[in-house]
């Protein structure tokens, strides 16, 4: 008899009418899930380095539980061995002993308080584990492709038996902690996937060989965990539908589908369809991959098994999953990064508040942080991982209402504006442009998905409207205007100042500004040099290269795109190569000549580069208006690129941090 844990009626939710398939129940094992929404287990590095759950971790999960409006909410995968070989993240939760149960219970309770279904995941990180030890473990000692991972020790048969038992014991602890559903992680290079893949499993015993042999450990884990869970607690598994490891002779797609069938035979109640490994040479989830690019894999999975199929992977908006669920090609819409960016995202969908969603921009900063032992953070959501800090997550109303003048309607100014207005301040945003968005108006024109960055401005606009922010667009703020208005506080979010070429020829007519190029205002030649090797320069270079221009980047940073997080930077490096862009790092411009420029390395080597147009993308802080504000004795804040030119994330985070302090 199937069981319903919490009753949910979505008939009054407008989103349930727009996306009816997302808000209909589904049975998994003997459990009825009220809707088709799942926050998928995601590492957050918020737990103690000893594996105990922290307040930060609990509050992080509580917000996601609110977001799933009665659906599935999974805590991060727990590691299960005392030796910590399976631990892949410094702040990963542990479950290798009963002493961890009270902490785990706090998470299960926090999810239940929101009437959501509490999911618990078992995750031995295998060859990407051992974050605190010298060796990780795996079916075979296949060397690591990436140096950041530890050497692999081949597991003996006894080790495998112990590992299987660890899964079973950890599952029992999860059930005792109160979780409703158990999931086994077999993705992206973690231990289960190491056993399953022909790339990493070279064993010749019963745990290796053909695909059935390579699935044997997984089968024993599923069966053991099923036994301890009993009939009322469903057991699912996350498995690769395509490893994308053909360069190292990993599993074929056919073999991957065979793993799905074997998992179903072993008793899995659902499969979460994933793809790619951390070692794959193909991108899977970054912004350059179109939305919905992988959804066909869910359909294929459904053609091979009869249990529910769940999937995430570039499904940031509700329309497509709703359509695919309706067509019977998907059963549950999973989310990770989209609910890192906005924990209440599906709730807003249900409530018909889609304009209020802060969309993930698929930059992968969250992943980059985790791999570098830093706590979770989000490029676009300043509150992420601070949910437990009340004064940060839910700042109090201002003690004294102030008239706040924000100069600049870019992402920094807008973020600050609505944050301050919500707290009761009278906020006025000025911009000399007729439109909001600042330099993002131009930046969004860069190829490979940068148009998605604009969702940030759309969200901020909606928030500003809701908070009652007053806009003065097409109004340039001058010293006189400040003197006339005499606000209590001025926030300068004016954006950067573009560099001037101080070298001879710096007044050449061939010099144009990046913003004019990106907006199409400036005419450019066929051969172009871009000065500045940070992200804006790269975006502009790709934009021009796509038009067939011959582009060279010359920049002072030691490596191009050093301001781009490493989980995305490799994509730019490949695209620059593919588009024939030449990059000279550690260089400056010594002279602008009639033919082009003379570049000079840090150690004095000089050479000419021909160009018709020289685009300036290098930026500096904006000092304008500071003196005027200070001379009037007005409280002053400088944020975003006006303070130090950085990136969209810094603009948003600056804006929020100042907004809660005013």
Q: Which of 232, 516, 557, 591 touches other proteins (CB under 8 A)?
A: 591
Q: Render 171-197 in DSSP notation, one character per residue.
A: HHHHHHHT-SEEEEEE-BTSHHHHHH-
Region near other proteins per CB under 8 A, out of 143-151, 330-338, 463-471, 482-490:
143-151
What's the closest the beta carbon of residue 150 comes to other proteins, in angstroms?
12
What's the closest the beta carbon of residue 44 comes to other proteins, in angstroms?
28
Region near other proteins per CB under 8 A, out of 141-149, 354-362, 414-422, 639-647:
141-149
Region near other proteins per CB under 8 A, out of 318-326, 548-556, 598-606, 635-643:
598-606
What's the closest the beta carbon of residue 502 comes to other proteins, in angstroms?
16
Number of residues that bind other proteins (CB under 8 A): 21
Q: Which of 141, 481, 497, 644 touches other proteins (CB under 8 A)?
A: 141
Provide CB contacts within 8 A for 180, sequence distance 6+. Answer: 5, 31, 108, 117, 118, 119, 233
Q: Which of 2, 97, 146, 558 touches other proteins (CB under 8 A)?
A: 146
Say if CB 347 and CB 66 are below 8 A apart.
Answer: yes
φ/ψ bin of 356: left (φ > 0), alpha (ψ from -120 to 50), beta (otherwise):
alpha
Q: Which of 24, 115, 145, 546 touches other proteins (CB under 8 A)?
A: 145
Q: Which two tokens stand for residue 443?
A: 């930046």
Region near other proteins per CB under 8 A, out of 119-127, 289-297, 389-397, 599-607:
599-607
What phi and psi values does residue 239 have, to the nearest 5 degrees? Answer: -135, 145
Contact positions with other proteins (CB under 8 A) in 246-265: 246-249
What's the closest the beta carbon of residue 605 comes to other proteins, in angstroms?
6
Q: In sequence order, what are the beta bridge partners of 236?
A: 183, 270
Say if CB 25 and CB 76 are below 8 A apart.
Answer: no
Residue 586 binds other proteins (CB under 8 A): no
Contact positions with other proteins (CB under 8 A) in 603-632: 603-608
Q: Which of 1, 11, 143, 594 touches other proteins (CB under 8 A)?
A: 143
Contact positions with other proteins (CB under 8 A) in 265-284: 281
92 versus 198: smaller Cβ distance to other proteins:
198
What's the closest the beta carbon of residue 15 comes to other proteins, in angstroms?
44
Mask of contacts with other proteins, 358-397, x by CB under 8 A? Answer: ----------------------------------------
- Single out the residue of 287, 280, 291, 373 nearest to residue 568, CA to CA: 287
Q: What does DSSP say about strands 332-335 and 550-554: parallel, antiparallel, or unpaired?
A: unpaired
603-613 b/e (C-beta count within 10 Å ≥ 16 → b): eeeeeebebbb
Show the 3-state SS of 411-425. Answer: HHHHHHHHHHHHCCC
Mask of contacts with other proteins, 91-130, x by CB under 8 A? Answer: ----------------------------------------
146 versus 162: smaller Cβ distance to other proteins:
146
Q: What does DSSP say about strands 26-28 and 37-39: parallel, antiparallel, or unpaired?
A: unpaired
Region near other proteins per CB under 8 A, out of 86-94, 110-118, 601-609, 648-656:
601-609
Region near other proteins per CB under 8 A, out of 63-71, 242-250, 465-473, 634-642:
242-250
What's the closest the beta carbon of residue 248 comes to other proteins, in angstroms?
6
Element spanning 64, H or E: helix 55-67
Say if CB 138 and CB 191 are below 8 A apart.
Answer: yes
Q: Which two tokens stand for residue 36?
A: 């088709």
Distance CA 160, CA 156 (A): 6
Q: Which two tokens stand for residue 233?
A: 């607690």
30 versus 144: smaller Cβ distance to other proteins:
144
What's the closest the beta carbon of residue 197 comes to other proteins, in angstroms?
12
Q: Which two tokens stand for residue 335?
A: 């989310």
Say if CB 611 and CB 527 are below 8 A apart.
Answer: yes
Distance CA 88, CA 124 (A): 8
Residue 300 binds other proteins (CB under 8 A): no
Q: Which of 90, 142, 481, 636 touches other proteins (CB under 8 A)?
A: 142
Beta-carbon-side half-sphere exposure of residue 120 (alpha carbons within 13 Å): 35
Say if CB 200 and CB 217 are below 8 A apart.
Answer: no
Distance CA 480, CA 315 (A): 49
Question: Length of the chain in residues, anyone?
Answer: 662
Distance CA 103, CA 316 (A): 31
99 versus 606: smaller Cβ distance to other proteins:
606
Residue 503 binds other proteins (CB under 8 A): no
Residue 148 binds other proteins (CB under 8 A): no
What phi and psi values does residue 435 have, to the nearest 5 degrees? Answer: -130, 160
Region near other proteins per CB under 8 A, out of 21-29, 138-146, 166-174, 447-455:
138-146
Distance CA 1, CA 214 (A): 34
206 versus 247: smaller Cβ distance to other proteins:
247
Residue 636 binds other proteins (CB under 8 A): no
Contact positions with other proteins (CB under 8 A) in 179-208: 202
Q: Which of 144, 153, 475, 527 touches other proteins (CB under 8 A)?
A: 144
Residues that bind other proteins (CB under 8 A): 141-147, 202, 246-249, 281, 591, 598, 603-608
């Amino acid at each position: 008899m199937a069981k319903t844990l919490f009753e949910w009626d979505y008939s009054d939710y407008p989103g349930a009418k727009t996306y009816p398939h997302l808000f209909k129940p589904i049975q998994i094992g003997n459990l009825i899930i009220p809707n088709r929404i799942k926050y998928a287990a995601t590492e957050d590095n918020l737990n103690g380095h000893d594996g105990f759950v922290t307040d930060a971790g609990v509050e992080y999960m509580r917000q996601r539980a609110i977001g799933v409006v009665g659906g599935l909410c999974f805590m991060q995968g727990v590691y299960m061995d005392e030796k910590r070989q399976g631990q892949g993240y410094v702040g990963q939760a542990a479950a290798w002993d009963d002493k961890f149960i009270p902490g785990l219970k706090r998470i299960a309770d926090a999810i239940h308080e929101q009437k959501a279904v509490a999911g618990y995941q078992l995750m031995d990180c295998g060859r990407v584990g051992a974050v605190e030890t010298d060796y990780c473990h795996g079916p075979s000692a296949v060397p690591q492709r990436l140096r950041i991972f530890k050497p692999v020790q081949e597991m003996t048969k006894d080790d495998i038996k112990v590992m299987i038992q660890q899964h079973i014991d950890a599952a029992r602890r999860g059930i005792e902690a109160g979780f409703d559903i158990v999931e086994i992680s077999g993705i992206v290079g973690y231990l289960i996937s190491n056993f399953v893949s022909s790339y990493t499993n070279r064993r010749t015993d019963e745990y290796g060989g053909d695909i059935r042999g390579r699935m044997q450990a997984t089968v024993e884990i599923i069966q053991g965990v099923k036994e301890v869970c009993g009939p009322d607690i469903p057991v699912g598994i996350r498995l690769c539908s395509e490893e994308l490891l053909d360069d190292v002779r990993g599993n074929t797609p056919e073999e991957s589908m065979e793993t799905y069938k074997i998992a179903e035979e072993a008793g899995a109640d659902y499969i979460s369809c994933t793809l790619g490994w951390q070692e794959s040479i193909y991108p899977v989830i970054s912004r350059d991959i179109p939305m919905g690019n992988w959804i066909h894999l869910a359909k294929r999975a459904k053609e091979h098994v009869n249990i529910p199929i769940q999937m995430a992977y570039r499904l940031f908006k509700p329309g497509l999953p709703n359509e695919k669920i309706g067509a019977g090609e998907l059963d549950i819409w999973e989310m990770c990064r989209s609910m890192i960016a906005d924990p209440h995202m599906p709730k807003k969908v249900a409530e018909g508040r889609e304009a209020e969603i802060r969309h993930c921009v698929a930059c992968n900063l969250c992943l980059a942080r985790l791999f570098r032992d830093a706590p979770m953070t989000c490029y676009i959501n300043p509150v992420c991982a601070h949910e437990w800090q009340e004064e940060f997550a839910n700042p109090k109303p201002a003690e004294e209402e102030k008239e706040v003048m924000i100069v600049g309607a870019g992402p920094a100014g807008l973020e600050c504006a609505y944050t301050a207005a919500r707290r009761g301040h009278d906020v006025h945003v000025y911009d000399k442009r007729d439109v909001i968005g600042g330099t993002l108006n131009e930046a969004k024109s860069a190829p490979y998905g940068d148009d998605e960055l604009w969702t940030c401005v759309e969200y901020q606009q909606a928030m500003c409207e809701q908070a009652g922010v007053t806009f003065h667009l097409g109004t340039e703020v001058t010293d006189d205007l400040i003197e006339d208005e005499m606000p209590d506080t001025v926030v300068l979010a004016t954006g950067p100042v573009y560099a001037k070429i101080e070298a001879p020829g710096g007044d050449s007519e061939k010099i144009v500004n990046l913003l004019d190029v990106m907006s199409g205002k400036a005419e450019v030649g066929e051969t172009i040099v871009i000065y500045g090797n940070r992200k804006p320069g790269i975006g502009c270079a790709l934009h021009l290269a796509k038009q067939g221009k011959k582009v060279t980047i010359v920049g002072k940073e030691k490596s191009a795109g050093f301001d781009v997080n490493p989980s995305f930077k490799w994509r730019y490096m490949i695209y620059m190569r593919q588009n024939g862009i030449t990059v000279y790092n550690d260089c400056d411009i010594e002279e602008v000549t009639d033919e082009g420029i003379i570049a000079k390395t840090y150690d004095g080597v000089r050479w000419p580069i021909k160009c018709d147009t020289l685009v300036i993308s290098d930026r500096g802080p904006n000092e304008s208006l500071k003196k005027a504000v200070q001379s009037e004795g007005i409280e002053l804040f400088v944020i975003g690129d006006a303070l130090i030119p950085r990136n969209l994330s810094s603009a948003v985070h600056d804006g929020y941090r100042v907004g809660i302090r005013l």
